Amino acid sequence: MAPTIRALPLISKARNGVGAFILQCKRMELAYCDFGGSSNGMKRFIERDLPKFAAANPQIEFVVHPRPNHHPTIRGLYINGREKVVCVRNMHESEIIQKAQLLRDSSGAKIKKSNKKVTSLNESVRGVFSPYHGEQFKI
């Protein structure tokens, strides 16, 4: 008996947040320098604000390591394999925590401009216009 139907090998797409939400930032590496003055804010941040921030975001792995003779940086690593690095030289702890929050809230995707107001996997509610249906325009 000949087959009447074949299934195309399509797979489902994830919709992060619809069911479960997976935070895209999986790791943050904080580098500081013992000698450089630009790392002062970073060092204070690590001592004071980092434990609380880390506890509030248990999904993120935090790695703190010295990087001598360099400005302090925060490197965020994401699930899509990309990373974002922010140099926090000469910043106050309040500014650094903002940068950390920025990295945490990012998806890791390249910043892309969209001219569309709405982007969706779902088809439109009323469907695409057809001149052959509904009230047809008579010339």
Partner 1 sequence: MSLLTPHLRPALRQALAPFTPARYESTTRRMTKKLRLPPAASFRLDASSPAGTHIIYNPPPTAASVKQTPALFMAANDPRRALSLNTPSLPLAEGQELPPPVRKPYEKKYHLKPEDFAKIRELRKADPVTNTRKALAEQFGCSPFFIGMVAEATKEHKIEMHFKQKKMMKRWGRIRTKARAEKAKRKAGWGGADGL
Partner 2 sequence: MICLDQSVVTSPENLHLLGKNRPSSGILLLSSLSALTLHAHAVMPKMVRPMMAYQPPVGDQTCFGYLVVTKVRDWSAALNIKIRIGAVGENEWCLFLVLMGAGPAPISPCRQPLTSTRLAALHARLGLSKSKFPLETLAKCLIDRTMDHNPAVNNSALSNLGNNLIGYWTSEYLLTKYPRLPRAILGQSVSSFAGNKVLHILGREWGIDHAFMPKAEADAGLLQFGRVRPGEENWMLNAVNKRPVNRLKLEAQGKERQPLEEEMGLTTEEVEIADPSDKKGLKKIVVGMPLELAYANAVKAVFGAIYLHEGQKATYEFFKAHILSRHFDLEKVFDFFTPTRTLSRIAAREGFEPPIARLLSESGRNTRHPVFNVGVFSGDELLGEGAGASLNEARIRAAVNALKAWYLYSPPASIRGDLPSKTERDPSAEFRGGFLDKGDVVI
Taken in order 105, 107, 110, 115, the sign of the CA dihedral is: negative
Contacting residues for 138 by C-beta, under 8 A, at least 6 apart: none
Contact status, residue 63 vs residue 97, Cβ threshold 8 Å: no
Q: How far is the CB of 125 from partner 1 (least distance, A)?
A: 8
Q: Which of 54, 70, 84, 104 binds partner 2 (CB under 8 A)?
A: 54
Looking at the Cβ atoms of 5 and 55, the one nearer to partner 1 is 5
Taken in order 41, 43, 48, 53, the sign of the CA dihedral is: positive
Count of residues in contact with partner 2, rule CB under 8 A:
46
| Residues of this chain that bind partner 1 (CB under 8 A) | 8, 123, 126-136
| Residues of this chain that bind partner 2 (CB under 8 A) | 1-16, 18-20, 22-23, 26-27, 32, 34-35, 43-44, 46-47, 50-51, 54, 58-66, 79, 121-122, 132
